[in-house]
Amino acid sequence: MVSAAGLSGDGKMRGVLLVLLGLLYSSTSCGVQKASVFYGPDPKEGLVSSMEFPWVVSLQDSQYTHLAFGCILSEFWVLSIASAIQNRKDIVVIVGISNMDPSKIAHAEYPVNTIIIHEDFDNNSMSNNIALLKTDTAMHFGNLVQSICFLGRMPHTPPVLQNCWVSGWNPTSATGNHMTMSVLRK
């Protein structure tokens, strides 16, 4: 596994910029939502279908403990936070899931072989808390797995930034430093 420490400062950031620029104009089917949120007057309000956020992934360790969320940038690259993955080995990208219940998970796993942590990441202030992860093999895109979109070069009017959503897994229990995650919500 290559980490940020394995790359020189200028070369590392130049590489990150090249990856991000390439991704900016990548997939034409990026960010396409296939279904809508399930609303209702019960505790399931805010739950999402497995196809609503196909770019959201779970980064997990070798014991399948959820470490952090990530978003798919391309078939090999995932963007996430540095604080949860620094000094980690054997990270696996879990794609195509909205429910962390092991009995209900139909997903795919992609081991990570490269981690690039922002060179100015500060663990105390959490500034520049960003990392790129590259998978060993290409992620297979379909209804449950897609890359996220970026705004292109064209100027955008304010409506582009309306109706934005944030998604993530809701912790269902916590013991010490370990949280049990359940169902993806928005």
Give the rounded percent of residues in the chain with a pLDDT score beyond 90.
Answer: 31
Whether 55 maps to a domain, the answer reads: yes
Whether 65 maps to a domain, the answer reads: yes
Whether 180 maps to a domain, the answer reads: no
Whether 135 maps to a domain, the answer reads: yes
pLDDT above 80: residue 65: yes
Residue 6's domain spans which residues? 1-19+47-150
pLDDT of residue 74: 93
Report the run of H or E that residue 125 belongs to, with start and end.
Answer: none
* Number of domains the chain contains: 1
Whether 14 maps to a domain, the answer reads: yes
Q: Say which CATH number the domain at 124 has.
A: 2.40.10.10
Whether 159 maps to a domain, the answer reads: no
- Single out the residue of 147, 3, 8, 151 nearest to residue 78, CA to CA: 147
Please write the tens of the pLDDT for every residue from 130-151.
Answer: 999 999 999 999 888 889 876 6
Distance CA 102, CA 99 (A): 8
Please write the tens of the pLDDT for every residue from 2-40.
Answer: 454 434 455 555 555 545 545 554 555 566 555 444 444
* DSSP character string of 47-90: B--TTS-TTEEEEE-TT--EEEEEEE-SSSEEEE-STTTTT--S
Whether 52 maps to a domain, the answer reads: yes
- Locate 127 and state its tokens: 């500034």
Q: With bands split at pLDDT 50, 70 and 90, how would you rate the model's confidence at 166?
A: low
pLDDT of residue 182: 65
Give the rounded percent of residues in the chain with a pLDDT score beyond 70.
Answer: 48
pLDDT above 70: residue 181: no
